[in-house]
A = this chain, B = another copy of it.
Amino acid sequence: MTADTTASTRRWTLDEVHALCDRYRTWGKWGPDDELGTLNYLTPEMVANAATLVRQGKVISCALPYDGNGPQNGWGGRVNPLHFMLQDGGDATIGAQEHMARLRYADDAIYMPLQCGTQWDALSHVFYDGKMYNGYGQEHVSSTGADKCAIHLATEKVVGRGVLLDIPRFRGVPWLEPGDGIGSDELAACAEKQGVTVGRGDFVLVRTGHIAKCRAEGAWGDYAAGDAPGLNLDSTHWICGNEIAGVATDTWGMEVRPNELEEIFQPVHIVLLVNVGLLIGEIFDLEKLADDCAEDGVYEFMFVAGPLPFTKAVGSPLNPLAIK
């Protein structure tokens, strides 16, 4: 089966990609003023149903620690978080807090690119032909932030049913290699083998094992902005056909790299983020969750993964929780 499925990764022409965009474009589907895209698939009933998946009381985070040991290398200004102590136990000890009556304290601050670690892309993160999702012009995103499709709009929208698709376990390998693409047939086959269905409004977490590979090798290497396993252009058929609300992977850029054509950098983003309006997550650490799912055989869970309300931001770090 693996031979067939990975064969879906191939060279594409620009025209083919444009046809794919045309086919799955949702602009206007939820009105001309919509800024949420596929999060519109989610209904209160789905939220309530998702909660019924909580049976064991297990809580598993998919967030990579935010610290100086993260995967970033400075590309495009993306550095790892810088953590500052504004006050600490040293200050308390040397008498630098004597102006406060008896209480002593520590306080801290962070500088971080919002997409340096586990993250959601806002729909305003990517443009094509001058436009983002729903046809909003890129001029809506200036140095003061995004006037349209900012991430803070999703603050209360990312609670629902989550499904993990563990591709390495499906293939019987420890991890996928850079360049390994994942297509529609493989996503469907993996779900079937895992005994889990996928449908409208679901959040799908696709594990490639790329983080496991880096850990095994003891170094991030070119994890950030380099070649990677991931979803290929063919995968968009399955994703759009199932009307899922969001997808996240354990790679820096969700999609297979090298890209399947040279004429577009990150073409799957152009299809899914710009045209479909799909919520995309990256650098999700799916290792612990995958181990747990393999152990109890349960690949569905309540998924609570709201971004933080960074006003007008084009992405957000978060603590995505799978609750089983």
Contact = CB atoms under 8 A, between A and B. Distances in A.
Most buried by B among A69, A82, A116, A143: A143
A104 B126 CA distance: 6
B142 A90 contact: yes
B313 A108 contact: yes
A85 interface: yes
Interface string A64-91: 1111110000101111011111111111
A301 to B, nearest CB: 11
A265 interface: yes
B107 A77 contact: yes
A54 interface: yes
B91 A105 contact: no
Contacts of A124: 106
B262 A101 contact: yes
B93 A139 contact: yes
Given A104-B126, A125-B107, A308-B66, A82 B85 contact: no
Contacts of A304: 159, 304, 321, 323
A15 to B, nearest CB: 13
Given A79-B79, A156-B61, A138 B310 contact: no
Contacts of A172: none
B323 A306 contact: no
A161 to B, nearest CB: 12
A113 B85 CA distance: 9
A211 to B, nearest CB: 14
- 3 A-B pairs with least C-beta separation: A90-B90, A44-B57, A89-B138
